[in-house]
């Protein structure tokens, strides 16, 4: 029997669908509420929903494990929560923005290591590749954010971040936090790989 052979309660595709549905159940009502009260971050949540759907449709081509999709979903929810003025607040002495960018770098690095291109590279090249990809994504985000701020006005930029729009060092801090998150993700990933390799039985001589 298939389920007995699998030995799991849910298959990977089912888990993807569950994560997709649960995240959508949270994001869609938030966006509807944003549209009803007509606030500037309604566009942000709409883009988050598009990202959720886009990655879900490409999950097999991207070879994403449900855990990677969960990492992405958590980031989308963190950003959605930030639109409720959390980006203007501090937690444990750090801006909320710091945590979201740190987590973005972490989640991105773990997802990038899943790519076949990365997995086929030597560790040091894979590390450099992942950091570069994370920086590229971060730069793209900052360009879009800046374009939105210039077009729509301070504090109402595309991918709204609130007070960060008036901080001249915001871009540099965001990209640095992304890189730190990616380095943390890389350390955890290679530590896990080392543990996995050590757990494998040694071939008999």
In this structure, are residues 40 and 160 in contact, taking their beta carbons and an 8 Å threshold?
Answer: yes
pLDDT surpasses 70 at 96: yes
Asked which of 116-120, 171-175, 183-187 is least confident by mean pLDDT, the reply is 116-120
Stretch 13-22: mean pLDDT:
93
Query: How high is the pLDDT of residue 22?
Result: 96
Distance of alpha carbon 90 from alpha carbon 127, whole angstroms: 31
Distance of alpha carbon 165 from alpha carbon 112, whole angstroms: 29
Distance of alpha carbon 98 from alpha carbon 82, whole angstroms: 11
pTM of the predicted structure, to 2 decimals: 0.79
Q: Residue ranges per domain, the chain?
A: 12-84, 89-194
pLDDT surpasses 70 at 83: yes
To which residue do tokens 């569950």 refer? Answer: 18
Query: pLDDT tens, 34-62?
Result: 888 777 777 778 888 999 999 999 888 88
The percentage of residues in the chain with a pLDDT greater than 90, rounded to a whole number, is 32
Average pLDDT along the chain:
80
Query: How high is the pLDDT of residue 153?
Result: 60
CA separation (Å) from 65 to 48, 58, 69, 165, 202?
A: 20, 12, 7, 35, 27
Query: How high is the pLDDT of residue 205?
Result: 39
Query: How high is the pLDDT of residue 73?
Result: 94
Query: How high is the pLDDT of residue 34?
Result: 81
Q: For the chain, what is the radius of gyration of the CA atoms?
A: 19
- Band (5; pLDDT cuts 50, 70, 90): very low
φ, ψ of residue 155 to 5 degrees: the values are 80, -5
Two structure tokens written together for 200: 């494998």
Query: How high is the pLDDT of residue 31?
Result: 87
Q: Which ranges of the chain does DSSP label H, i.e. alpha helix? A: 2-6, 12-37, 42-57, 66-82, 96-114, 116-119, 123-152, 170-199
* Cβ count within 10 A of residue 99: 17
């Amino acid at each position: 029997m298939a389920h007995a052979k699998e030995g799991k309660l849910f298959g990977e595709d089912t888990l993807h669908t569950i994560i997709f549905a649960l995240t959508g159940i949270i994001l869609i009502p938030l966006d509807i509420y944003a549209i009803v009260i007509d606030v500037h971050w309604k566009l942000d949540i709409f883009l988050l929903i598009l990202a959720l759907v886009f990655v879900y449709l490409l999950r097999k081509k991207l070879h994403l494990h449900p855990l990677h999709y969960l990492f992405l979903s958590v980031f989308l929810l963190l950003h959605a929560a930030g639109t409720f003025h959390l980006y203007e607040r501090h937690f444990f002495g750090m801006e909320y923005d710091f945590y979201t960018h740190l987590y973005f770098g972490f989640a991105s690095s773990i997802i990038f290591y899943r790519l076949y291109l990365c997995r086929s590279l030597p560790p040091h090249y894979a590390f450099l590749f992942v950091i570069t990809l994370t920086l590229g994504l971060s730069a793209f985000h900052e360009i879009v954010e800046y374009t939105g701020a210039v077009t729509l006005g301070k504090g109402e930029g595309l991918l709204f971040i609130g007070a960060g729009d008036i901080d001249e060092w915001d871009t540099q801090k965001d990209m640095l936090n992304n890189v730190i998150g990616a380095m943390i993700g890389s350390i955890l990933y290679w530590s896990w790989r080392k543990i996995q390799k050590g757990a494998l039985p040694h071939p008999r001589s």
